[in-house]
Structure 1
Amino acid sequence: MRTLYERADVIPLIAEVFREHGFEGTSLSRITETTGLGKGSLYHFFPGGKDDMARAVLDHVDGWFEREIYAPLRDDAPGLAIARMWRGVDGYFRSGRRVCLVGAFALDETRDRFAAVIASYFTRWIEALRDALVRGGWPVAQAADSAEEVVLGIQGALVLARATNDAAVFGRALARLQRRLQQPPSL
């Protein structure tokens, strides 16, 4: 294992511990085992303890989604941005083999602690996709409904893939959702 010198090096490792065990099931022992850092080093990087680590992880996830999903949906040509979203989502969630950390935090007692960040993740995704669809010729109401349905479908597919231990569920769901967004609805 390589030596970790920067806080930024540790955040993705901690994220995987949270993904695997949830906030409540993640102990400092699990984090030290995964990162190879002692508790003193962890507290040096994250003086606020586990809450500070969770905030850093959520910020890291948010930064990735902002760069790779939301900003392109807001700023790029709609067709290209939506195609990039499908590739990005499939890659990020490792074709259904990786839990959505924000979604997992939304489902347990952690939700109240990080409610604003969790809500922002989902609403910004829906709004960015809605806006891309509108720019692509969709009526606003149908774009809003479809954007919400897509984000809901992605999250549900992640849960179902995990519950059934069948990552192919995720791929099939993405393909169905992608087909739904190929053409603007007829007026």
Structure 2
Amino acid sequence: MPALAEAFREHGYDGASLAVLSKATGLGKGSLYNFFPGGKEEMMAAVLDDIDRWFADAIFRPLEDISSPAKAIGSMFDVVSAYFQSGRRVCIIGSLGLNAAGEVFAARVRQYFARWIGAVARCLERGSVPPALAVERAEEAVSGIQGAIVLTRALGDEAAFARVVDRLRSSLLDALDRSG
């Protein structure tokens, strides 16, 4: 699964031909079809399932379950920074949302971002941030992380990701401090 994910991450859904996927996994095209009879669409669906499980465990549940909102927010930014390798690693789900190939997976993309924004907003609300402000800050945080990935890759500057993420972290923690 990691090899498939990296191939989709680096080549996009359209650019990840069966030859690219075969080379990335070390499996022949016949073996890939044996594991994924639905072809590339089934492969991407499996990668999205894997990403969804990881984000549920590492990001969403801690935001939804941890009793300390400030710790949960801090942890989210630490984990996200590591996962996206300080902006060097493309967000597969974000990239799917940017092109026509993503139409097949539009509901999955929408669900992923809605859950992330909702988890951050509910975490902020547990810290007494008013609901409307919590949603606003959550949207800024998630969109800011995604934008920081693009900016880092475009500029070739990992420090850009760190600067944006630090500002986003401070913004959410400030909102908690003012409301708590």
Tell me if TM exceeds 0.5: yes
Query: What is the alpha-carbon root mean square deviation over aligned residues?
Result: 1.1
Query: Aligned AA for 2:80?
Result: V
**2:8 corresponds to 1:18:** yes
Match of 2:84 in 1: 93
Higher percent of residues as helix = 2
Offset of residue 183 of structure 1: 2.6
Structure 2 residue 48 is matched with structure 1 residue 64? no
Aligned to 1:183: 174
Query: What is the number of equivalent residue pairs in this alignment?
Result: 177
Q: Quote the Cα distance in structure 2 between the aligned partners of 1:167 and 1:96.
A: 6
Contact 2:152/2:158 (<8 A) preserved = yes
1:145 aligns with 2:151: no
Structure 1 CA distance for aligned equivalents of residues 114 and 64 of structure 2 = 13
Q: Residue 119 of structure 1: which of 89, 110, 129 is its match? A: 110
- 2:28 maps to which of 17, 26, 38: 38
Deviation per CA, 1:18-60, whole angstroms, max 9, x where unpaired?
1111110111111111111111111111110000001011111
Structure 1: segments with no counterpart, 5+ residues? 1-10
Q: Find the aligned partners of 1:52 and 1:84 in 2 and give their Cα distance.
A: 32
Task: Give the TM-score normalised by structure 2.
Answer: 0.95
User: Once superposed, which parts of structure 1, at least 4 consecutive aligned residues long, lie more than 3 Å away?
Assistant: none
Structure-2 residue corresponding to 1:4: none
Which residue pairs with 2:63 in the alignment? 73
Question: What residue is the counterpart of 1:134 in the other structure?
Answer: 125
Q: Where does the alignment leave 5 or more consecutive residues of structure 2 unmatched?
A: none
The match for 1:83 among 74, 78, 102 is: 74
Residue identity matched to 1:21: H
Give me the identity figure in percent. Answer: 50
3-state SS of 1:37 partner = coil
Rounded to whole Å, the distance in 1 between the matches of 2:173 and 2:22 is 46
Question: What secondary structure does 2:103 align onto?
Answer: coil
Which amino acid is 1:15 matched to? A
User: d(CA) in 2 for partners of 1:179 and 1:79?
Assistant: 10
| CA-to-aligned-CA distance 1:146-177 (integer Å, 9 cap, x gap) | 00000010001111111112122111100010
Structure-2 separation of matches of 1:129 and 1:175: 16
